[in-house]
Structure 1
Amino acid sequence: MQKHVNSYYAATRNEIIDFPVLEELVECDVCVIGAGYTGLSSALFLSEAGYSVTVLEAAKVGYGASGRNGGQLVNSYSRDVDVIEQRYGEKTAQVLGSMIFEGADIIRSRIKQYDIQCDYKPGGIFAALNKKQLKGLAEQKSGWERYGNHNLRMLDAQEIAKEVGSRNYVGGLLDMQGGHVHPLNLALGEAAAILSLGGKIFEQSAAVEITYGEPIVVRTAKGVVRAKYLLIAGNAYLPQDLDARVTRKSMPCGSQIVVTEPLSEKVARSLISNDYCVEDCNYLLDYYRLTADNRLLYGGGVVYGAREPDDIEQLIRPKILKTFPQLKDVKIDYRWTGNFLLTMSRMPQFGRIEKNAYYMQGYSGHGVTCSHLAGKLIAEMIRGDAERFDAFASLPHMPMFGGRTFQAPLTAMGAVYYAMRDRFGI
């Protein structure tokens, strides 16, 4: 039996529901593979629309990235609007740009509608380490304002020093449409909402075989689901051999997080005075925030190919001390790793693999908000309005170069180049 990773989130989760193992035949409108944010958001939107939905989860609800991430509601995709315009053209950029902040709004509405207790706090800071990054943030602000986000404010060196107790930053961008949550409790709250609407969720029930047709038949070790539609939403935790048409398009990567012992109110506020979440502007970025009980949660680094690092604390503690040298004696209480799904384009991959079977994946580090948008789009598409889903599905989905054997080392080599650019501010 697979349990949640030993994380701060698992230790502080709300009362958890143990969902049953599938040991029967279930017939439904939509079968969803994966109970992370993509699957949960999709199942919730579809349940609200009156569809009968069955969710199959190989482990526990929120077991993967949805229950392990930094908890930051970072708007946009992993590629910003300027890159989208240059790469895909103005028309595509207009459609994708119109949805760029919708994911965070969906999360806020879910929290309110279903009274999900997940420690939501508004506000996020993008922190610049050099003048080039600060110039980039000014351009980002201008681009985001063109697409409707007017809750942005540039911070100079003095202003960011009042918000973040670090000497590393020359300025930043405050985004009040961003924010942070307890991600596992958000997932559990959404699962409870699905149940309240008649949806079914089965844990420890990995899909082992898919037979496409009308209906689609999905088999687990002990049960069967027959459905009119199928959504594959396993992301970085989808077995490679379940459907290679989906898994060959992306690569799992690991990111590491540590959480300190509880800090005094005075120390906590000296680090982040207004309880915003923070991320820097490096290609290999660091991100951090305070938890509801005044611990510092700090994440960073990427392990290509999703290998488990030998010593997570050894990787992250130097980053903490570079940002906050005043925490040199702080104790680390929790440490864990989790996988996200990287694509060649860094854009999410939505698509059809059969006329009644779909996949959504590959948020490349921006999955908290974009996965919630994905759920809304798949519900629209199944209801007959495919325009917004197709805006993503029309993007070229390139297989990861080098195949499964070479993709991790080749991507890591590229990351070394960008790490050098981060270091020298070029």
Structure 2
Amino acid sequence: MELINGNPFWPTTLQSNSSYPVLETNLSCDTLIIGGGMGGALSAKLLTERGINTIVIDKRKVGTGSSLANAGLLQYTNDKTLTSCINTFGEQQGVRFYELCRYAMLQLTEIVSKLEIDPCFVPRTSLYCASTEDDVIKLEEEYNTLRRYGFDVELWNRQKIESHFPFSRAAALYTYGDAEVNPYRLVHSLLHSSVQKGARIFEQTEMTHCDFMEDGVVCYTSTGTIRANKVIFSVGYETQEIKNDRGAYLQSTYAIATKPVKDLSSWYEQSLIWETSRPYLYMRTTPDGRIIAGGLDEETPREDQRAIRALNRGQALLKKVAEYFPLSNLEIDYAWEATFGDTHDGLPYIGPHPKYPHSYFLEGYGGNGTVYSMIAASLLTNAIAGNESKDLELFSLTRTSKPSPV
């Protein structure tokens, strides 16, 4: 599967990233992680901290799959509001999902504070803007729901938005506890830390097939095998090539990184900004003064049209950024298109599957992939260590997913 087209920004930010060998022998381990992106890297970090003998393989260079297209906005709020989660899953499960997302943000904050390679993790606030006047009622309802269940949020009216930003919207939710991160640096930093704890990592090493035995799994590659007690499949949207999740769907998303902007003083607190419209626009800044913007999700174009589509949609994104921030000399430096996956009910897939013994799947579908990967890494590490949580039921791979409002 071709995951990315165009020219992603993140590889330019880490010139001396680690490289790992190709697997050329037969090995064994406690846990094998297939996939060296964000989910795999977070899982490797937590597993090795528990002293669990871990191997990671990736068919590409690590961090160059979907993680390379990640815009690096980290939020406890979701594309599916807490109000909608409660309506879909019930009060207990809906609130629990948001609590897990909030706790995952705290876990990420703690983890990155101890990493040797700086992942450019910066705490941020978020501004969730009403795209139309009709969305104000929805934001007011969501504000009341979040407050009712103990989430720190403010409801801003037009006057307050205009007093802090150079644009006007009828209303917005202002939330705390979010962050921005460089996802490429984070993946490499997590894997670097895992290696120091004993993890073995192999790049350009593609799983050809697995045999599921009574006492574990044997993973075959073209040049070696790995026998593992447990396996975590963390291959992102390419999971659909292993098993078909009927509750999931794939499409294309777009992103740009501008050239550095000299003056971002009009961008209050450099908050993360996103919209109620679907598909929506999101924006953030970088430490060197760039603006990263993305969204405009749509059905995936024909393969021969994807690269030019990335350029065209990039111009559309730049125009939208300028509507929010009428800055001089806004220019695109990098533009890319990427495969993006979501589920009909708005939750990721995390956990075991009855057709794959001794295995777990980590499928961070949705716009909050890094936060979902943190939730998954924590739940799966606990399960492998013998302390399986009932929270896994919320993300069951065998649940019935139906379209629901966001």
Q: Determine whether 1:378 maps to 2:385.
A: no
Indicate whether 1:274 and 2:276 are aligned: no
Give the 5 Å matches for 1:46-195: 46-121=47-122, 122-150=124-152, 152-167=153-168, 169-195=169-195
Structure 2 CA distance, aligned partners of 1:206 and 1:263? 41
The change in CA–CA distance for 1:166 and 1:60 in structure 2 (over 3 A counts) is: farther
Partners of 2:156 and 2:56 in 1: how far apart? 44
Shift of 1:118: 2.2
Amino acid of the structure 2 residue aligned with 1:105: L
Determine whether 1:290 maps to 2:288. no
- For 1:380 and 1:145, the matched residues in 2 are separated by 30
Q: What is the RMSD computed on CA atoms of the aligned residues?
A: 2.7
CA distance in 1, matches of 2:82, 2:312: 36
Amino acid at match of 1:190: L
- From 274, 286, 296, give the equivalent of 1:301: 296
Per-residue displacement from partner, 1:66-106 (whole Å, max 9, x unpaired)? 22211101214443332222222233334334313122112
Alignment of 1:357-396 (within 5 A): 357-394=359-396
CA separation of 1:352 and 1:396: change in aligned 2, threshold 3 A: closer
Q: Deviation string for 1:121-174 (max 9, x for gaps)? A: 222211112233233223223333344422x2222223223443334x222122
Q: Which residue of 2 aligns with 1:43?
A: 44
Change (3 A) 1:295 1:98: closer
Structure 1's 389 and 193: CA in aligned 2 closer, same or farther, altered over 3 A? farther
The answer (yes or no) to whether the contact 2:345–2:401 under 8 Å persists in 1 is no
Moved more, 230-239 or 305-314: 305-314
TM-score by length of 2: 0.89
SS of residue in 1 equivalent to 2:146: helix
Cross-structure match for 1:407: none
Q: Name the SS for the 2:201 alignment partner.
A: strand
Q: How many Å apart are 1:187 and its aligned residue?
A: 1.2
Name the amino acid aligned to 2:294.
Answer: G
1:352 aligns with 2:352: yes
Deviations 1:206-239 (A, max 9, x none): 2110111122011112121110001111111346
Return the letter of the residue paired with 1:316.
Answer: G
Using the TM superposition, name which of 91-100 and 53-62 deviates more: 91-100
Which deviates further from its counterpart, 106-115 or 205-214?
106-115
Q: Is the 8 A contact 1:92 1:391 kept in 2?
A: no
Contact 2:279 2:296 in 1 (8 A): yes
For each residue in 1:354-410, what CA deviation from the matched residue of structure 2 results, as whole angstroms up to 9, or x when unmatched?
341111214222212111111001011112222244332447544799xxxxxxxxx
Query: How far is the alpha carbon of 1:20 from its aligned partner?
Result: 1.1
List runs of 5+ in structure 2 lacking aligned partners.
Answer: none
Code of the aligned partner of 1:312: A
- Alpha-carbon offset, residue 54 of structure 1: 0.7
The residue type paired with residue 292 of structure 2 is L
Contact 1:288 1:297 in 2 (8 A): yes
Q: Is the 8 A contact 1:64 1:338 kept in 2?
A: no
Q: Work out the CA distance in 2 between the residues paired with 1:226 and 1:395.
A: 24
- Structure 2 counterparts to residues 233-272 of structure 1, below 5 A: 233-238=234-239, 240=241, 243-244=242-243, 246-247=244-245, 249-264=247-262, 266=263, 268-270=264-266, 272=267
Judge conservation of contact 2:8–2:68 (CA < 8 Å) in 1.
no
**Conserved in 2, the CA contact under 8 Å of 1:253 and 1:304?**
yes
| 3-state SS of 1:16 partner | coil
Contact 1:123 1:277 in 2 (8 A): yes
Counting matched residue pairs gives 395
Measured in 2, the distance between the counterparts of 1:298 and 1:177 equals 20
Separation (CA, whole Å) in 1 of partners of 2:12 and 2:91: 46
CA shift for structure 1 position 293: 1.0
Tell me how far apart the structure 2 counterparts of residues 399 and 223 of structure 1 sit (CA, whole Å). Answer: 38
Q: Distance in 2 between matches of 1:71 and 1:216?
A: 34
Q: 1:119 and 1:309, CA in 2 relative to 1: closer, same or farther beyond 3 A?
A: same
Deviations 1:336-359 (A, max 9, x none): 122222222221112312341111
Say if 1:349 and 1:360, in contact at 8 Å, map to a contact too: yes
Partner amino acid for 2:261?
Answer: L
Q: CA deviation at 1:279?
A: 0.8
What amino acid sits opposite 2:360 in the alignment? Y
Aligned partners of 2:248 and 2:341 also within 8 Å = yes
Letter matched to residue 191 of structure 1: L
- TM-superposed deviation, 1:280: 1.1
Gaps of 5+ in 1: 402-413
Change (3 A) 1:36 1:94: same
3-state SS of 1:179 partner: strand
Distance 2:223 2:402 in 1: 34
Offset at 1:205? 1.0
d(CA) in 2 for partners of 1:313, 1:327: 21
Distance of aligned partners of 1:389 and 1:219 in 2 relative to their CA distance in 1, 3 Å threshold = farther
Where 1:98 maps in the other structure, the secondary structure is helix
Given residue 143 of structure 1, which amino acid in structure 2 is its aligned partner?
T
Q: Which moved more, 1:307-316 or 1:67-76?
A: 307-316
The answer as to whether partners of 1:149 and 1:177 remain within 8 angstroms in 2 is no
Q: Which amino acid counterpart does residue 130 of structure 1 have in structure 2?
A: T
